[in-house]
Each structure stands twice: as C-alpha cells, then as structure tokens.
Chain A
Amino acid sequence: MTRTPPPTQPAPAATEATKAPKRGGSKATAGAAAAGASAPAGGEPPATQPDTARQPPATPALDLASLEQRLRDTHAIGVFTKLSLKNQVDDLVMAFRAFHNKQAGKTLAQLRQQYEGLLLKVLSLLQDGDPSLASAISASREAIWGILTDPQKFSKI
C-alpha cells in the first residue's frame, strides 16, 4: 500500500535509458524520438513549448502496432515462447492499468523494473535470430515506456 509518487522519481528511467544499447532503427527510431519528449525520463522539458505542439499521436501507436506485428511474424521465437511473452506483456499491461486506476499495486519504479526485465528477455531472444527487430524494439524502449506511463496514451492501447 505504499505507492511512491511517480513524478518525483525519474531516476530509474534515466539510468536505464543510458544503459540501453543504441542501435540503428529505421521507423522505430523516429517513434522513439517522437515519444521521447513525453517520456518521464528525458531531459528537462522545454518550458516554452506548448503541450499541443508536441503531440504526435499517430507515430508511437503506429510503431507499436508495427513492432507487435513483427514480433508475431518473426521466426526467431517459437510459438510457446511467443505465448509466454504475450502472457508477460499482458501481466505488465494489467499492472499499469491498476496503477493508472490508482488501485493498490506496484509503484512506477517497480513497473519500470518489470518493463526493463521483460524488454531484456525479448531482446535476448531476438538478438541472434532477428537482430533488426531487436534493434527496432531497443530503439523504441522509451517510446513504449512513454505510452505505458501516459494515462491518455495508455487508455488507447
């Protein structure tokens, strides 16, 4: 029942982001850059920029759908493994839903840890068999996190 206040803890995301491998991604890189502004772990948000000016609604959602489809289609992961990953993604999404609904559950730091762990699993599974998809997902790390942590964006997934 002790939930840490999310806005005051940008540290885990910031430190994890710096550890993230920076690989080249084509479409996903643009998505990550676009959603990077909304991620809680970025640098200081530009104070002069109005909120309406930094709302690229289509780009992150499009990337997410594209990545999801590529994950479904890849031959680098077996069927059981895909199902297990889907289960864990569903668990994470449910945990975020509870978080946004202010139900008793995990803190944002704990969710970040769960998210990073899951991402690491996906990347380790893909890095040999489908390195381009691994790069794209790695490049979209902050974009996906931005969607998960933003209540408005999250409600649309």
Chain B
Amino acid sequence: MSPRAWITALTAVAAFGRLSLAAADPELPQDMKAVIALQGQPCDKVVSVKRNGDSDYLVSCQDGNRYHVFVDAKGRAVVQKQ
C-alpha cells in the first residue's frame, strides 16, 4: 500500500471513529440515564443514544420514553421529553 493510500485510510478511520464516538462510548447510556433521572424524568433503561451534534443527543428508553438531551446556550444540561 502506498503512503498516500495509508494516509487516506487513516483519515477515514479517524473520521469514522469521531462520528461513532457516541455510540462507542459504553458509559454514555449510563450518563444519559443519570441525567434524565436527575431531571425527574422516567427512563428504566436506555436502549439507544443518537448523536445529533456536539453535546446533543436523542435518547430512547426501553419503556418507550424518548428524550432530547442537550446543553443549552447558558451551559445547562436540558432534558426535553419528545
């Protein structure tokens, strides 16, 4: 493999790794569940976390509840029921 191909491959791996960081982080569901609970909202178990952007997630719980969890402009962690 040529050096150029190596660089291309590494760049792709790095980019993919960044994009899938949220899904790969094993502690993120637990973090989301704790934040939701801290805001007094129910969520028995987090089944999926979709990353919308920086500090912006859509969380689905096993009991059917879905939440938009994000950091607002004032730096507050916000949990919005969908």
**Bound-state Cα–Cα, A121 to B31, Å:** 14
Q: Are A78 and B27 in contact (CB under 8 A)?
A: yes
Most buried by B among A77, A79, A121: A79
Pick 22 A–B contacts, CB within 8 A, sort by A.
Answer: A77-B31, A78-B27, A78-B35, A79-B31, A80-B34, A80-B55, A80-B77, A81-B34, A81-B35, A83-B71, A83-B75, A83-B77, A84-B35, A84-B38, A84-B39, A84-B77, A85-B38, A87-B75, A87-B76, A87-B77, A88-B38, A125-B34
The tally of residues in B whose CB lies under 8 Å from a CB in A reads: 15
Determine chain A's interface SS by DSSP, over half rule: helix
A81–B77 alpha-carbon span in the complex (Å)? 8
**Contact assessment for B76 and A80 in the assembled complex, using a CB-CB cutoff below 8 Å:** no
Residue of A nearest to B79 (CB): A84
CB of B30 closer than 8 Å to a CB of A: yes
Contacting residues, chain B, for A125 (C-beta < 8 A): 34
Instruction: Please name all residues of chain A whose beta carbon is closer than 8 Å to the beta carbon of B38 when the two chains form the complex.
Output: 81, 84-85, 88, 121
**Does chain A have a CB within 8 A of B43?**
no
* Cβ–Cβ < 8 Å partners of B34 in chain A: 77-78, 80-81, 84, 125
Residues of A participating in the B interface, judged by any CB pair closer than 8 Å: 77-81, 83-85, 87-88, 121, 125
Query: Given known contacts A84-B38, A84-B39, A121-B38, is B31 in contact with A78 (CB within 8 Å)?
Result: yes
Query: CA separation between A145 and B72, bound complex, in Å?
Result: 30
For A77, list chain B residues within 8 Å (CB).
31, 34
- Contact status A78-B75, CB under 8 Å: no
Chain A hits for B58, CB < 8 A = none
Question: Which residues of chain B are within 8 angstroms of A79 by Cβ–Cβ distance?
Answer: 31
Listed from nearest, the 4 A-B pairs whose CB atoms lie closest are: A78-B31, A84-B77, A81-B34, A83-B77
**B34 to nearest A CB, angstroms?**
4
Question: Which chain B residues border A84 with CB–CB below 8 Å?
Answer: 34-35, 38-39, 77
Against A, the Cβ 8 Å flags (1 = close, 0 = not) of B21-50 are 000000110111011001100000000000
Q: How far is the CA of A83 from the CA of B75 in the complex (A)?
A: 8
